[in-house]
Structure 1
C-alpha cells in the first residue's frame, strides 16, 4: 500500500489525469464490446437487462474515479475507483467472450480466458471491496495495525486463483473444501475491511463522519436487492453508480448536511410501508374470512385501520431512527422530559443553566449561551463558547428576551438538520428560563434599591432632624431661656427675642412639613387620592375618576400619586403637549392610573431615564405593572395597574 501511494505521489498531475482518461476510455470501450457480446448470447433468466452489473460498475467507477483524479490527483481513492472499474469491465468481457467462444465453437483457449476472468474478478474485489473501505476517505489506513489485513487479502486472493484455476483441473482431486474455506476467509477479510469504516466513524470528526455516511447509504441500496435475491437482485444494476457518485461527492464536497435526514426518512418510510402494509393485509385477510359477502366493507375497514396506525407508528419509528443515529441525547422528546425534570429541582436562577446544559448535550456542541437584551444580566453560558455557529432570537410572549448562542459541533458529532427539531423543542424552555432569570435579577435589583433608598432616606431624616430641626429647636430653647432672663431687666429685648422666636417656629414648621411631604404627601390625607391628584394636576389637565377610591392601602395611594406626578411632570417638561388627560379607575382587585398626552411622544433612540424607571419600580414593588407606550395616534400614554389588596407585614 505504501508503494502504491509512493507511485501516485511521483506521478505528475498531468500524467495522472492522462492515465485516468486512458483507463476510463479502455474500460468504457470494453463495456461497449461486452454489451455487443451479451446481445449475441441467449438472454439469461436471472435478469431482463441487456447488460450485467459488472458493466455498470465498469462504466460508473472509472468515470467518477477519473473526475476525482482530476480534482485530487494525489488521493488514492480516485485511482482505486478507476482500477476497480477497469478490472470489473475486463472480468465481464472475458467471461462473455469465453461463453461466446464456447457457443460459436471458436478456437480460443477457454481455460486461459476463464483464468483471466477469475483473476480480474479477484482484483476487482481487492480494489473496491477491501482497499477502498480500508483507505476511505483520506487514502490512509485507520492505523498501521490494519496493514496485515491488506497482505492477508492479497495472499487469500492469490491462493484462491491457484486453487480455483489450477488445482481444480481434472485429475487434481476434490478442492471444494479448500475453496469453501478460502471463500469464508475472504468474506471475513471483507467484513473486517468494512469494520475499519465503523472504527474510523467512531473516532472521526463531524466532516469525516459525513464523508463516511454517504457511501454507506449508497452501498445499502446495492446490498438490499442483492440479499433479497431472485427475482429482484438485478435492480442492483441501477444502484451501483450511487456508490462512486457518493464517494466522489463526499470527497469533493465534504461540507455536507442532510445525510442523517436522508437516513432517518428512509428508515421511517420503509418502516411505515412495511407496518402499514402488514396491517392492511392482516385486516384485509381477516375481513375476507368474516365479511366475505361484503368485500367492499372489508377493504374500507382495512384502509381505516392502516390509516389509524399511520401517525403513532410514524412517531415511534421517528424516535427509533433518531435514537439509532444520535442515541438518547438526540431525541427531542427525551431531552424535553429531562429538562422538565431538571427545572423541577432547580431554582429560577439556575433553570437557565440547566436548559443550556441540556441543549448543549442534545446538540453535542462545544457550548451554548444566552446574551440578554440590553446587556443585562450578564451572559449565561454552558460549556465553551469561543465561536458562535448559530444565533437565534429568544422571545417570551412577544417580548424579546435576548439571543440564544450555539457553538460549533463538538468532536465526533454529526451536525444535522435533525438538530432543528431539538432547537425547536428546547428554545421555548430556554426563553422561559431566560425570562425567569431577568425577573429574578430585576427583583433582586429592586430589593437592593429599596434597601438602599430606605437607608438613604433614614440617613436624610436623621441629618435633617439632627442638623436642621434639632439645631433649630435647641436654638429656640436657648432663646426662650434668654428671653426669660431679659423679661424683668429689659422687656424690649425680651419682646424682640420672642418675636424672632416666633419667626423661627414658622421655619421649623416648614421644615416639618417638608419632611412629612417626603414621607407621604399631606394632601392625600387632607383631600384623598382624587382630590390630591386634581390639585397637583392644575387647571390644564382633565381628571376623570371612576369607582370609589376610599379605603385604598396607603402604599397604593402613594405609588399612584408618585406615578401620576412623574407622568405629568414629563408631559409638561418634555412632551410639549397641548392637552393632558388623567384617569383613575378602581376595579375589584386593582387600581388603574392612565395619563395620556398629545405631545411629541417618546423618540425611538431615547434611552429610559430615572423618572421612567422609577415609575416602573414603584409599580413592581407592589406587584403591579407600569407601561409607557406611544400609541399610533401620537403622544405618550402611561398606564399603571396597582393591586388594592395588599398583605403587608410590618
Structure 2
C-alpha cells in the first residue's frame, strides 16, 4: 500500500467517524425529546428498564426507572432493535405520551410532553469535553495540513476525528433512541466504534513516533492487525456476555465491556512503547519529541489522577468534569509541538515547573482532604468550620517547606546533583576509588559526571603534542559543546567537553562554577592516566629498543665475526700445512691472516663502542669529553672552551653515555653547520646535571625542522627524565641546554677547571 493510499484511507475513515457523530446530533435535533437521558458513565441498565436523569423540569424525576412506554415494555422495545421491518412510532414535538416508571418501589404512569432536543443544556453540562474534542480535531487538522506526508500527523488526525465522533457519549442516550432504533445504533457506533478507533490510533501513534518501532518495520502486518484486534475483543466480549444476561436490556448494559476492556490495554502498551523509544533513541532531537509526548501523558494522566480520581474516591471532589476537560486540553497541543516545532519551546523548563507545582498542588489538596476527614471524625459532624480551619492552617505551615523539598527533588530529577557539589565530587571520588584498572578511569569519570548532572554528552580529550584526542566519551555530541581546560600544575593536559541538557539551554553561572571544580578534579585523573600511558609507551619502547639492539648484535656477530673467525681457522690450518712443506706461499697467507685479524678487532671495538664508549671507563666523563672536544677543535678550526668540575660525583652509567653522546652531537653540529669562531661546553652538577653547548655561529634558521641529530638528543634526554632545549641566542649562535635529574645525596661540587683547547691558528 503506497503512502498516498494510506493517507486517503486515513482521511476517509477519520471523516467517517466525524460524520457518525454529526449524524447522531442532527437526528436528535430533528426528532422530539422527552427532556431526559441515560447518564453517561453510570449504571443505568436494569433487566426490566433503564434509569434516567432529567435535563429540564417536567414529569420525570432523577432516578426514575422507565419500564414501559405507551403500554409496551422497554424490554420489547429493546428486542425490536434487532428486528428488521418493525413498525416504529413517529411522534411529534408537543405530543404527550405515557411513560410507565418505577418510582419509590411503585410503578406509576407519567405523562411526558415531547419537546425540542435540549442541546443547550447538554452543552452547558459537558462543554469542556466538547471543547476538548473540537480543539483536538482542529489542531490535528492544522498539523495534517502542514505535514500531509508525516505518518504521525495522519494518525493524530485519525485519533482526533474518532474522539470527536465519540463525543456523543457525553450527550447520552435517550429512551426515544431505543424506540426509533436508529439513534441507538448511531450512539453505539460512535461510543464503541469511534471510541475503540481513538484508542487504537493512540497506540498506533506511540508505535510510529518519532520513528517506527522495529516490530513494525520487520512485520508490516502488525498495524492492520492492530485495528482489527480491538473490535474482535469487543465482539467476543458481547458474545460471552449474552448467556450471562437475564434480558435484552441487561445484555445491552453489558456492552460497556466492549468499551472498557481495550483502553487500559492500549494505555499500557502505548506507555511501554514510548518509554522503550526514549530509552533506545540516541538522537537528541528525537528524544525531545518523545519528551513532549511523555509530558502530554503526564499532564493528562497524572493531573486526572491527582485532581479528579483520588479526590472523588475519598468523597471530596475538587474539580468538576468540565474542569477535568480543561486539565487535559494541553494534550493535543503537546502532540502538535512534538510533530511540528519541538525545538521552539524548552520542554525541560515546562516539565520542571509542571512537576513542582503540579505535585505541590496535589499534595496540598490531598493534605487538606486528609486533615478535614480526620478532624471530621473527632468533632461534631455538623461542624465543618473547625476542621477546615485546622486543615488550612496546617497547609499554610507546611506549604513552604514542602515547596522547597519538592523543588530540590525535581531539580535532582531533571538537573541531577547540580545543586549539591559535594555529592557530585564525593560520588566521583567513590567511583574512582572503585576503579582498579587505569584504562577504565576516564570512562568512569565521564559516565559519573553525565549521570550526576543529567548531561547528554561528556567527553575527555588528552593532549598529544599540539592536538587533542578523545580518550573517553559518554553519549552523543549533537550540539555546541562547553570546553573546559584540564590543567595540572599549570600544564594543559587535556580538555573536558560537555553538552547542555537541551539545545536552547546554556550552562548557568552555578553550572560553570561546579563544572570548574569538577574539571580541577578530573585534571588530576587525566594527568595520572596520561602518565600511565606514557609509562606504558616508554616500557614498550625500551623493550622494543632492547630487542632491536639484541637483534643487531646477533646479526653483527653471526654475519660478521662468525664467518670471519671461521675463515681465520681455515687459514690457520692452511698455514700449518704450508709450514710443513716450507712453501713460499706461507708468508702472504700469514699477512692476509694478520689483516683479517686486525679488521676483526676493529669490528669488535665498534660493537663495544656502540654499547658504551670505552673512553668513559678509561678516562671518565670530563676527560673523555675534553679529549673529543680537542679533536674537534683541531679538525674544525673553532676555538672550543670546556668548563666542568675537576671531578664529578658518581653518575649513573646511562646518564654518562647520554651526556657524552649529546655533547658530541652538539659539537659536531657546531663544526659542520654553525660557521662559529668559538664554542663553549659547560657541565654543572647540583640537584641536576646541567650540560650547555653554546656557539657564536649563524644560529638556527627562522623556520627550521629538527633533523635526526636534534631528535636523537631530545630522545636521549627524555628517556632518562631529562630535558633538552635547543634555541637560537639573542645575539648570534645556538644554545643547547640539557638537564638530567640526579639523586640528592651527592658530594659537593668541586671548583671548576677551565680547559682551553683552541688552536692559535684560529685567532
TM-score category by the smaller chain? 0.5 to 0.7
Contact 1:591-1:644 within 8 A present in 2 as well: yes
Q: Which residue of 1 aligns with 2:203?
A: 133
Q: Which residue of 2 aligns with 1:243?
A: 331
Contact 1:276-1:309 within 8 A present in 2 as well: no
Contact 2:442-2:525 within 8 A present in 1 as well: no
What per-residue deviation string (whole Å, max 9, x for no partner) do you get for residues 356-404 of structure 1? 9989x999x9xx9999969x9x99999xxxx999999998955678999
Q: Which residue of 2 aligns with 1:611?
A: 709
Are 1:52 and 2:140 counterparts? no
- TM-score, scaled relative to structure 1: 0.53
Contact 1:584-1:591 within 8 A present in 2 as well: yes
Are 1:441 and 2:568 counterparts? no
Are 1:625 and 2:722 counterparts? yes
Q: Give 1:192 deviation, angstroms.
A: 0.5
Cα gap change, 1:566 to 1:187, in 2 (>3 Å): farther
Within a 5 Å distance, the mapping from 1:217-256 to structure 2 comes to 217-227=295-305, 228-229=307-308, 231=318, 240=328, 242-251=330-339
Give the secondary-structure state (helix, strand or coil) at the position aligned to 1:11: helix
Within a 5 Å distance, the mapping from 1:83-482 to structure 2 comes to 83-84=161-162, 86-87=164-165, 125-138=195-208, 142=222, 146=226, 149-152=229-232, 155=235, 186-201=259-274, 206=281, 212-227=290-305, 228-229=307-308, 231=318, 240=328, 242-251=330-339, 315=412, 341=434, 343-344=435-436, 346=437, 433=529, 436-453=532-549, 456=552
Q: Which residue of 1 aligns with 2:691?
A: 593
Q: Give 1:447 deviation, angstroms.
A: 2.6
Select between 305-314 and 625-634 the one with higher mean Cα deviation.
Answer: 305-314
Q: Give 1:126 deviation, angstroms.
A: 3.1
Count of equivalent residues: 515
Q: Which residue of 2 aligns with 1:532?
A: 625
Structure 1, unpaired ranges of 5+:
31-36, 100-108, 282-298, 322-330, 405-414, 483-502
Q: Which residue of 1 aligns with 2:653?
A: 554
Q: Give 1:151 deviation, angstroms.
A: 0.5
Tell me the distance in 1 between the aligned counterparts of 2:237 and 2:675: 96
Q: Give 1:193 deviation, angstroms.
A: 0.5
Q: Give 1:452 deviation, angstroms.
A: 2.7
Give the secondary-structure state (helix, strand or coil) at the position aligned to 1:52: helix
What per-residue deviation string (whole Å, max 9, x for no partner) do you get for residues 535-570 of structure 1? 738666776669984333333222222223334444
Tell me the distance in 1 between the aligned counterparts of 2:398 and 2:198: 50
Q: Give 1:16 deviation, angstroms.
A: 7.7
Tell me the distance in 2 between the aligned counterparts of 1:137 and 1:441: 51
Q: Which residue of 2 aligns with 1:9?
A: 6
Contact 1:272-1:314 within 8 A present in 2 as well: no
Give the secondary-structure state (helix, strand or coil) at the position aligned to 2:700: coil
Give the secondary-structure state (helix, strand or coil) at the position aligned to 1:615: helix
Cα gap change, 1:216 to 1:306, in 2 (>3 Å): closer
Contact 2:462-2:530 within 8 A present in 1 as well: no
Q: Give 1:242 deviation, angstroms.
A: 4.2
- TM-score, scaled relative to structure 2: 0.46
Contact 1:596-1:638 within 8 A present in 2 as well: yes
What per-residue deviation string (whole Å, max 9, x for no partner) do you get for residues 202-228 of structure 1? 765627877555323212112233221
Q: Give 1:150 deviation, angstroms.
A: 1.6
Q: Which residue of 1 aligns with 2:591?
A: none
RMSD, aligned α-carbons: 7.4
What per-residue deviation string (whole Å, max 9, x for no partner) do you get for residues 103-123 of structure 1? xxxxxx999999978875666
What per-residue deviation string (whole Å, max 9, x for no partner) do you get for residues 133-164 of structure 1? 245443978577755542057659999xx9xx
Structure 2, unpaired ranges of 5+:
27-116, 309-316, 369-395, 419-423, 498-502, 506-510, 580-594, 746-763
Q: Which residue of 2 aligns with 1:294?
A: none
Q: Which residue of 2 aligns with 1:286?
A: none
Higher strand fraction (1 or 2): 2
